[in-house]
Chains A and B, each alone.
Chain A
Amino acid sequence: SYVLTQPPSVSVAPGKTARITCGGNNIGSKSVHWYQQKPGQAPVLVIYYDSDRPSGIPERFSGSNSGNTATLTISRVEAGDEADYYCQVWDSSSDNVVFGGGTKLTVL
């Protein structure tokens, strides 16, 4: 089955740039989507189709996808960005939705 690998944690100072990676075999050939989940809340879509932002998501959130790694980039990080972030793809070989294990973003 297809596996998505995320770092368990990423730390960044306010105002700096955070990069959260999502690794998978030839993930560049798939559409990657990203979710933000704050404690006690449901996940919220922040990036779809690798790099598109839903309405209401700040331009500080961006995404890229190439080769074996997709990346969620958060610029000018704020305290309110502290959350768990999950990547997600559709695995056509097994007709299965796959989520990464999640990355906890800590704002120092």
Chain B
Amino acid sequence: QVQLQESGPGLVKPSGTLSLTCTISGGSIISSHWWTWVRQPPGKGPEWIGDTFHSGNTNYNPSLKSRVTISVDKSKNQFSLKLSSVTAADTAVYYCASHAVTGTDWFDPWGQGTLVTVSS
């Protein structure tokens, strides 16, 4: 069964770049699913950041598109998130998830999440 695990720095300075990696185990990144990043600020609802397919195709949240890059590393069975010019408003738990989209639309499974704090 597919499992996802986020990794990366838990603290990023304002104006810096947030970088996270999601490692897929128990399955291949080369599948019909897309691979997603979702974030959840403390006490708030989830916010979809964007998706990538194993081909490198991407979809991004329009509100974050200018600052987001999601990429795939098939050799490592990983996909990554980069969010530039971060501010305190980007402080959140960041989740990676598998996104089923062929004639359907839902997220499962999810990683456990990783808290990223933007602070000097």
Partners in one complex: no
